[in-house]
Structure 1
Amino acid sequence: MRTCRRALTVLALTLPLAAMGAVPVVDDNSGSAGSSYPPSGYGTAGAYAGGGATAQPSAQGQLFMQLQQMQDEISRLRGIVEVQQNDIQQMKQEALDRYKDLDSRIGAGGAAAPAANNSSSDGAVNAGGNSVAPAAGGASQAPQTSSEPGDPAKEKLYYDAAFDLIKAKDFDKASQAFAAFLRKYPNSQYAGNAQYWLGEVNLAKGDLQGAGQAFAKVSQLYPKHAKVPDSLYKLADVERRLGHTDKVKGILQQVVAQYPGTSAAQLAQRDLQRL
């Protein structure tokens, strides 16, 4: 009886151990579809970062690329704007300098009376900077015909009206008025001054070609006029602005040599030292 109980006890203890030994062991790394880890689809971004051939950029990646392109374009446009601002500032400064210079010349009494003739005008230059010999009789180079007979009083009224347009800073109308005056009264005692101021007005407008032609004609048509030294000096300034540096030095040297003691000669000497 005691032996039977002992046998039953041993049997009861060994059955659970046998059952546990019969349970199959599952390998987690077997790669079976039902137990794979990590889940399907995980790591797509990593595959894209690793250069997978079939991976597509994410929405965040596309947005980053677009922002980068916009920043590059903004930087390029800022550079263009800065260059344009510098150019505009330089143009404004040059225009301001021309206006100040014009104001100072107006204040010197440009319209008070016709300038006296110079005693000499040998070697006047044309717009190209080449020497031209003055004709005998000085102002006889000016056109000998006009549209109406000379009337000093009427000429002065016409001339003063044109000069008032300069004072009013209406340079377009002033240019037209002086050009019309010279067509109507080419032999007037005011013609030399009108020719000079036509150059000043065109220079103030920024019309360098027109200014150069007007200044050159002062020495060509009125070679003994007192405005010749100033007109030649201004012609040198126009040639410098046009980039014709090879002509500037010759004109300045001519002013110094032929018109010593004038303010134009002093300015020309200063500019020669800076070249």
Structure 2
Amino acid sequence: MRTCRRALTVLALTLPLTAMGAVPVVDDNSGSAGSSYPPSGYGTAGAYAGGGATAQPSAQGQLFMQLQQMQDEISRLRGIVEVQQNDIQQMKQEALDRYKDLDSRIGAGGAPAAPAANNSASDGGVNAGGASAASAGAAAAQASQTSTEPGDPAKEKLYYDAAFDLIKAKDFDKASQAFAAFLRKYPNSQYAGNAQYWLGEVNLAKGDLQGAGQAFAKVSQLYPKHAKVPDSLYKLADVERRLGHTDKVKGILQQVVAQYPGTSAAQLAQRDLQRL
């Protein structure tokens, strides 16, 4: 009996201990049973710092980046505007220079600078663009065939003066039309050389560089002995410069200096050659 009682007593004492050993350990601070340790999110900042994950930019960061991009775009646009303003200013200055130059030439008078005999082509005449005197004579002969009226100096002068008055009135479109019509009617007139030259001036004042260059070139081609040839060649060099044909400018200026020494055009050409 004593042995049975001792066995029961030992069994009663060992059962609670066995039951306690089977109960799992629960971390009360984790908020739920079975959660991992360390808690979720632990060390996240350290992972960002160490490159373990890519941090998304905050709203403030995104706003800063957008502002920076806008500032860069504004700076680029300002640069474009400044370039355009400089180009416009240069164009205005060139137009003003053309008008001043035209005014000074108008003030010098529009009367013919050479008699009718000097309008015809002759041996030894110069030609812009490398045309020979013979080709200039052929061009003049071809132009004479377009004349629709016989020569009448009084009528020609009235027609020419009317066209020149349009220049004084700054009506360059009508002046261009008037001089072109005059040259079609009276290509052999004593006023034709002057009319051809002023047609170039009018087209230049209009900003028609192609038309101006063609008109100036024809002065030396059709009227190689005319007194306006040096001026027309110098103005042709100016047109070629404006068109960006720098390879032609130097040759024309050298032609003026070599073949027309002592003229105002030669002096201006020499100055321009020194600047090239």
Aligned-pair identity in percent equals 96
2:30 is aligned to 30
Q: 1:27 to 1:43 in 2, by over 3 A?
A: closer
Return 5+ residue gaps in structure 1 as ranges. none
Distance in 2, Cα, partners of 1:167 & 1:47: 84
Residue 118 of structure 2 aligns to a residue whose secondary structure is coil
**Retained in 2: the 8 A contact 1:138–1:224?**
no
Distance in 1, Cα, partners of 2:199 & 2:54: 76
**Retained in 2: the 8 A contact 1:142–1:222?**
no
Which region of structure 1 is more displaced relative to structure 2, 27-36 or 1-10?
Answer: 1-10
**Retained in 2: the 8 A contact 1:150–1:188?**
yes
**Retained in 1: the 8 A contact 2:216–2:235?**
yes
Shift of 1:39: 12
Residue 85 of structure 1 aligns to a residue whose secondary structure is helix
Shift of 1:108: 0.5
**Retained in 2: the 8 A contact 1:129–1:250?**
no
**Retained in 2: the 8 A contact 1:182–1:191?**
yes
Shift of 1:273: 2.7
Q: 1:190 to 1:26 in 2, by over 3 A?
A: same
Distance in 2, Cα, partners of 1:135 & 1:46: 91
Which region of structure 1 is more displaced relative to structure 2, 139-148 or 172-181?
Answer: 139-148
Q: 1:126 to 1:211 in 2, by over 3 A?
A: farther
1:21 is aligned to 21
In the TM superposition, what are the counterparts of 1:117-266 in structure 2 within 5 Å? 117=118, 124-133=125-134, 142-266=143-267
Shift of 1:109: 0.7
Shift of 1:261: 2.2
**Retained in 1: the 8 A contact 2:200–2:214?**
yes
Distance in 2, Cα, partners of 1:65 & 1:47: 24
Shift of 1:191: 1.0
**Retained in 2: the 8 A contact 1:125–1:232?**
no
Distance in 2, Cα, partners of 1:104 & 1:248: 23
Shift of 1:166: 1.2
Q: 1:94 to 1:136 in 2, by over 3 A?
A: closer
Shift of 1:62: 2.7
Give the helix-richer structure, 1 or 2: 2
Return 5+ residue gaps in structure 2 as ranges. none
Distance in 2, Cα, partners of 1:271 & 1:46: 73
Shift of 1:57: 3.8
Which region of structure 1 is more displaced relative to structure 2, 110-119 or 73-82?
Answer: 110-119
**Retained in 1: the 8 A contact 2:131–2:221?**
no
**Retained in 1: the 8 A contact 2:164–2:175?**
yes
Deviations 1:173-218 (A, max 9, x none): 2111111111122122211111000011111122221111101111
Q: 1:33 to 1:4 in 2, by over 3 A?
A: closer
Distance in 1, Cα, partners of 2:119 & 2:185: 24
Q: 1:8 to 1:145 in 2, by over 3 A?
A: closer
**Retained in 1: the 8 A contact 2:237–2:252?**
yes
**Retained in 1: the 8 A contact 2:217–2:233?**
yes
